[in-house]
């Protein structure tokens, strides 16, 4: 698919996940294939211009990590513009704007002319960026503040006029946080509101079938996947295969998951050093473990890991402990298998909705 001047290898995107979508994670999912464009964690535009070490670390990349979008956060037009110019000079493929909830204040006071004022301000900021660079500028937003204030269609249209090359929409309102069902009709309303730019749907895509349903029911040009990639870093490759052939791929085995987890840890150590990389991996490994079957003995140890050797000891111990849940073919006995993943918008009418995907801690107000 096209994103402004870019041609992407697929219409599947890795969503920005602050604290997770760092270089090692991006490389891990890219090695499996299927990703059209990956985005960094959100980066404060001012910190980037001031060349703060933390901001520079967030945009660290390698040739294998292409094409890459950097997500910028900020409200000062000149800073956002200069940050986009800087990213372009570094060879970054595109800049995404975290819209958080740019119309939040407006939603609180009930919309009306104030909302248009805020839209105008946001559109001016975007135009300043889009006019200053050749790389595409995209924007990521939610549907609106709450069900009574669905502002994304108007915002997307205004941003298109201001020069954005694509819009990413998480199909929930700010009030919903991460709970409840992703609203496909809401995403469709954004698709219908824009004239020509691609709209990328987002929210709860945890299986290839969910991606297909979002594409079909909303008319969106692509889907962006966040937490689904924690559970299943193969999701991009599997979804691409499913969209192209209609065939579902088999679930990765325990051994494949372990191999990938170890690869991910090695990349963390390469990029962050052994001590810091292992500490950061404390919150990553439990996501892999969610598909291991019973894993409490793994989780309670891995949250203390501080070296590569220590990690392998934990893994060895865990493999032995896990034996008790296996049958004679070394598969998990049926009652210990994790339930299949189901997207919130795919549960049958009348059935109890599936449990929400856990949300790691963080500043949800800007996501």
Ligand X SMILES: Cc1cc2nc3c(=O)[nH]c(=O)nc-3n(C[C@H](O)[C@H](O)[C@H](O)COP(=O)(O)O)c2cc1C
Q: Which residues bind ligand X (CB under 6 A)?
A: 15-20, 41-42, 71, 98, 140, 170, 202-205, 225-228, 359-360, 362, 367
Question: Least CB distance from residue 174 to ligand X, whole Å?
Answer: 12
**Cβ atoms within 10 Å, residue 109:** 10
Of the two residues 171 and 322, which places its CB atom closer to ligand X in the complex?
A: 171
Question: Least CB distance from residue 110 to ligand X, whole Å?
Answer: 25
Q: What's 354's DSSP letter?
A: P
**What six digits make up the tokens of 176?**
């919903």
DSSP string covering 182-197: --HHHHHHHHHH-SSS
Question: Least CB distance from residue 312 to ligand X, whole Å?
Answer: 27
Of the two residues 220 and 315, which places its CB atom closer to ligand X in the complex?
A: 220
Question: Least CB distance from residue 18 to ligand X, whole Å?
Answer: 4
Question: Least CB distance from residue 147 to ligand X, whole Å?
Answer: 18
Q: What are the beta bridge partners of residue 96?
A: 71, 138
Q: What are the beta bridge partners of residue 169?
A: 141, 201
DSSP string covering 206-222: -SHHHHHHHHHHH--SE
**Cβ atoms within 10 Å, residue 317:** 13
3-state secondary structure of 326: strand
Neighbouring residues of 274: CB distance < 8 A, sequence distance ≥ 6: 307, 308
What is the signed CA dihedral for 47, 48, 53, 59, rounded to 10 degrees? 140
H or E element, residue 170: strand 166-173
Helices (H), the chain: 23-32, 45-49, 53-58, 77-90, 104-109, 113-132, 152-162, 184-193, 208-218, 227-231, 235-245, 254-272, 274-281, 285-289, 296-302, 308-322
Question: Please, what sign has the CA dihedral across residues 106, 177, 156, 127?
Answer: positive
Question: Least CB distance from residue 203 to ligand X, whole Å?
Answer: 5
Q: What's 61's DSSP letter?
A: -
Instruction: Let me know if 101 is a catalytic residue.
Output: yes
Give CA 16 to chain center in angstroms: 4
CB 129 within 8 A of CB 139: no
Task: State the number of CA atoms in the 13 A half-sphere of 81 facing the CB.
Answer: 15
The catalytic residues are: 101
């Amino acid at each position: 698919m096209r994103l402004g001047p870019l041609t992407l290898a697929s219409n599947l995107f890795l969503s920005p996940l602050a604290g997770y979508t760092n270089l090692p994670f991006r490389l891990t999912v890219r090695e499996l294939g299927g990703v059209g464009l990956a985005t960094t964690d959100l980066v404060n535009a001012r910190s980037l211009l001031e060349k703060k070490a933390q901001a520079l670390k967030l945009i660290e990349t390698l040739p294998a990590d292409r094409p890459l979008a950097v997500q910028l956060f900020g409200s000062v037009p000149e800073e956002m513009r200069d940050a986009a110019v800087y990213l372009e000079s570094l060879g970054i493929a595109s800049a995404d704007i975290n819209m958080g909830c740019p119309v939040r204040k407006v939603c609180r006071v009930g919309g009306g002319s104030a909302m248009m004022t805020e839209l105008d301000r946001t559109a001016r900021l975007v135009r300043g960026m889009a006019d200053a660079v050749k790389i595409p500028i995209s924007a990521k937003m939610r549907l609106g503040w709450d069900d009574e204030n669905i502002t994304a269609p108007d915002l997307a249209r205004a941003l298109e006029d201001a020069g954005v090359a694509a819009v990413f929409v998480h199909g929930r309102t700010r009030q919903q946080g991460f709970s409840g069902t992703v609203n496909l009709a809401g995403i469709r309303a954004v698709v219908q509101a824009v004239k020509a730019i691609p709209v990328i749907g987002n929210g709860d895509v945890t299986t290839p079938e969910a991606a297909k349903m979002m594409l079909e029911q909303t008319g969106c040009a692509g889907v962006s996947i966040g937490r689904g990639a924690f559970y299943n870093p193969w999701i991009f490759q599997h979804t691409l295969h499913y969209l192209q052939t209609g065939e579902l791929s088999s679930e990765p085995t325990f051994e494949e998951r372990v191999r990938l987890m170890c690869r991910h840890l090695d990349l963390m150590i390469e990029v962050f050093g052994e001590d810091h990389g292992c500490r950061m991996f404390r919150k990553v490994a439990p996501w892999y473990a969610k598909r291991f079957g019973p894993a409490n003995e793994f989780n309670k140890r891995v949250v203390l890991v501080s070296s590569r050797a220590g990690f392998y000891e934990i893994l060895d111990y865990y493999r032995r402990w896990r034996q008790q849940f296996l049958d004679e073919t070394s598969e998990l006995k049926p009652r210990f298998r994790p339930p299949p993943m189901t997207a919130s918008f795919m549960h049958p009418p009348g059935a109890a909705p599936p449990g929400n995907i856990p949300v790691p801690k963080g500043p949800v107000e800007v996501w």
